[in-house]
Amino acid sequence: MQREVHLFGLPVIRVVKMEFCEKRYFLGIQYRVKKYAQRYDSFAEAFAANARGVHNRRVKVIINNTGEAVTYARTHALWYKPDELVFGSRFQHADIFRLFAPHIPVFYCGDAAELKEPQCINGNHVEPLLTSSRLLAMNNRGKPFLQSWAEYMHADVSSLSYSRAVIPPEVERSALAKAQALRLNLDNFVFLSPVARSCEALPPAFWDEIETSLRARGYDVFYNSPLFSISEAYALASHARAIIALRSGLCDVLCDLPIPQFIIYSHNKFHNDLQPMYSLKLFPWVTEELIHEYNVLKQDSIGISSSIFSHI
């Protein structure tokens, strides 16, 4: 990292020195055309400098993982006020809100992990939507996350209207174009997602067996790829015949799709068993009969794969 410029105390301009080039970011937007770099730097710095004179703004910062951010977007009616600014500490936070709450612009601010409690910065109230320590304490209670979140917000969610995903047309076009470049059979494929931050990985042999069995049944196979953004992954998965995934934040994104989903829970470094708090079946926006959940703490891989293929 070469330098940062801050807005409301959050890093919004970042210049990153790579091996062969520099990458410049302003509010998460990367600009790299050398001809305009200095002009853009000047504009971005002026923008941040002028913003220092802005007072009495309320700024919410999302510092949690993908799955929690999906819940925040779906339940924005509980916490978002139209005059607030929302910053995300990860690129995918903006993409999540683009899907589930497109009327709320979320700006990427870079790492905000040090924001552990509300602060007054230049006359503005800046606070994390939910601190990491509070999230851990909530999960240690073992209650479903949505229930803990509602209690934290002192809200009754029994009659809350949850927002649903809206795929922007340009995202749909981009996702399908990328899939076609990969020669994916869009009419008959299964979406696999074997990687998760929240759960320990399953042996590669497990996924090899899943892929082999799917292809033997005539399906094409797509492995989730960083080439696809969160919203593009959602757009592509909406065309799949089924989803098979290790439990991750992406599962929270995809879980309302009207297709069979086979979700596998494994050990988590903070909680031995994530399923009691983060079972997809506990979310009111899913179609429960389409969600099939498995837990390696209670089932072996042979039993899990056999059960999956009894439904496909």
Q: Treating both helix axes as pointing N-terminal to C-terminal, what angle do 301-311 and 204-216 enclose, rounded to 10 degrees? A: 20
In whole angstroms, what is the distance from residue 228 CA to residue 257 CA? 17
| Angle, helices 169-181/230-237, rounded to nearest 10 degrees | 80
Q: Is 3.40.50.2000 the CATH classification of the domain at 169-311?
A: yes
Q: Could you say which DSSP state residue 118 is in? A: -
Would you call 162 exposed, middle or buried from its count of C-beta atoms within 10 A (0-12, 13-18, 19+)? middle
Report the pLDDT value the prediction gives residue 3, as an integer from 0 to 100. Answer: 62
How far is the C-alpha of 297 from the C-alpha of 305, rounded, in Å? 15
Which structure tokens are listed for 6?
């801050």
Which pair of structure tokens corresponds to residue 8? Answer: 């409301």
| Helix, strand, coil distribution of the chain in percent, nearest 5 | 40, 20, 40
Which residues, in sequence order, are CB contacts of 210 under 8 Å at separation 6+? Answer: 192, 244, 305, 308
Residues in the chain with pLDDT values less than 70: 1-4, 29, 31-38, 40, 43, 47-48, 51-53, 113-114
CA distance 180 to 126: 44
pLDDT in tens, 244-279: 999 999 999 999 999 999 999 998 887 788 899 999
Please tell me whether residue 44 adopts helix, strand or coil conformation.
helix
Burial zone of 67 (CB within 10 Å; 0-12 exposed, 13-18 middle, 19+ buried): buried
Contacts of 80 (CB under 8 A, 6+ apart): 60, 86, 101, 104
Closest CA to 125 of 80, 58, 60: 58
CA distance 115 to 113: 5
Tally of CB atoms within 10 A around 24: 20
Show me where the domains of the chain are located: 3-152, 169-311
Determine the pLDDT at residue 121.
77
- What 3-state class would DSSP assign to 173? helix
- Tens-place pLDDT, residues 174-214: 999 999 999 999 999 999 999 998 889 999 999 999 999 99
What is the structure's pLDDT at 1?
A: 47
Distance (Å, whole) CA 87 – CA 94: 8
Show Cβ contacts of residue 63 under 8 Å, excluding neighbours closer than 6 positions.
Answer: 89, 112, 113, 115, 128, 129, 130, 131, 132
